[in-house]
Amino acid sequence: MRIHVLGSAAGGGFPQWNCNCPNCEAVRRGDPLLRARTQSSIAVSSDGEAWVLINASPDIRAQILAFPDIQPRQARRDTGIRAVLLTDAQIDHVTGLLVLREGERLPIYCTRPVYEDLTTGLPLLSVLEHYCGVDWHALELDGTPFEIDGVPNLRITPIPLESKAPPYSPHRENPHPGDNIGLWIEGADSGKSVFYAPGLGEISVAVRERLMQADCLLVDGTFWREDEMAQTGVGHKTASAMGHLPQSGDAGMIAQLKHARAERKILIHINNTNPILREDSQSRSRLSEEGIEVAYDGMDITL
């Protein structure tokens, strides 16, 4: 099984277009200890030929151009992407769908609450019906693994997460199971597993079990601290109010991953304010001591 990180940043990317926080200012002037990142998305395959795109960020065109394995290779109009799987309806995970409108009917796998958001509050799927069209496959939350047509030897199980629906969701303040999901992905041949959860607000019993069992973790790395937005002078919302578990603190992500058996523990969906983006920061050193990596665009993982 191959997992390719197309984009590793949180919403807005890094640097964010209108942000002059120390990280964004430094990467713009070419500081070699920081690298630019596009917005969060990964692609997964068992054979390197057929891929499932997990989340479609606004940067998807540039991400496809940077990854030849999903570019057209066999026909005049072609792609290695066989389907798109959405973990939520957040802008930074879904607006890239509009970039894929020139193709054939687009197979999209998502939960019912996400489908509702994308046909009401942010009706992207309704818009796409006027272009390529959409074949929706509903993801059930009963713990049963499923396979994606055209992507062999991958078994995927959606795991409900405690987080928030987007601000435009009809049930933003009335959470529904399936507003946000993590994905337990297994290679049918290798038996290896990855748990992917770019938005993770709380550690439920089910999530903790997956954190302890996976061979590879790709989990929420948005913020280093709970009050990071205020501390960097770019906002007032806390990490938890935005549906994210910060890395630091007694119950933060570092503490949660301490006893995980995973061969690789990787943080993804990293906000532009997070000090872990700087390779010589104390925060990055702390992660290294704990055996935790920081995702970057183009990271390729083989299990």
Q: Tell me, what amino acid is at 218?
A: L
Distance from C-alpha of 40 to C-alpha of 58, rounded to nearest angstrom: 9
Domain containing 255 equals: 2-297
For residue 275, is it within any domain?
A: yes
Cα(21)–Cα(245) distance, integer angstroms:
21
Structure tokens at 288: 């290294």
CATH number for the domain including 30?
A: 3.60.15.10
pLDDT at 217: 98
- Report yes or no on 302 lying in a domain: no
How many angstroms separate the CA atoms of 54 and 77, rounded?
A: 21
pLDDT at 172: 84
The answer as to whether 303 is a domain residue is: no
Question: Average pLDDT over the chain, rounded to whole?
Answer: 95
How far apart are alpha carbons 292 and 262 in whole angstroms? 10
**Which strands, in side-by-side order, build the sheet including 106-110?**
134-138, 106-110, 81-85, 51-54, 41-45, 2-7, 300-302
> Residue 256 has what pLDDT?
96
Q: Which residues pair with 182 in a beta bridge?
A: 159
pLDDT at 175: 86
Q: Is there a contact between 221 and 30 (Cβ–Cβ < 8 Å)?
A: no
Confidence (pLDDT) at 245: 94
State which residues of the chain have pLDDT below 50.
Answer: none
The verdict on residue 236 lying in a domain is yes
| Residue-wise pLDDT tens digits, 66-120 | 999 999 888 888 899 999 999 999 999 999 999 999 988 999 999 999 999 999 9
Evaluate whether residue 176 is within a structural domain: yes
> 85: buried, middle or exposed (CB in 10 Å: 19+, 13-18, 0-12)?
buried
CA-CA distance, 161 to 199, in Å (whole number)? 8
- pTM here is 0.96
Quickly list DSSP for 204-260.
-HHHHHHHHH-SEEEEE-S-SSTTHHHHTTS----TGGGT---SSSTTSHHHHHTT-
- The predicted structure's pLDDT at residue 134: 97
What is the number of domains present in the chain?
1
Structural domain includes residue 130: yes
Query: What's the burial of 74, exposed, middle or buried (CB within 10 Å: 0-12/13-18/19+)?
Result: exposed
Q: Is residue 50 part of a domain?
A: yes
pLDDT score for 145: 96
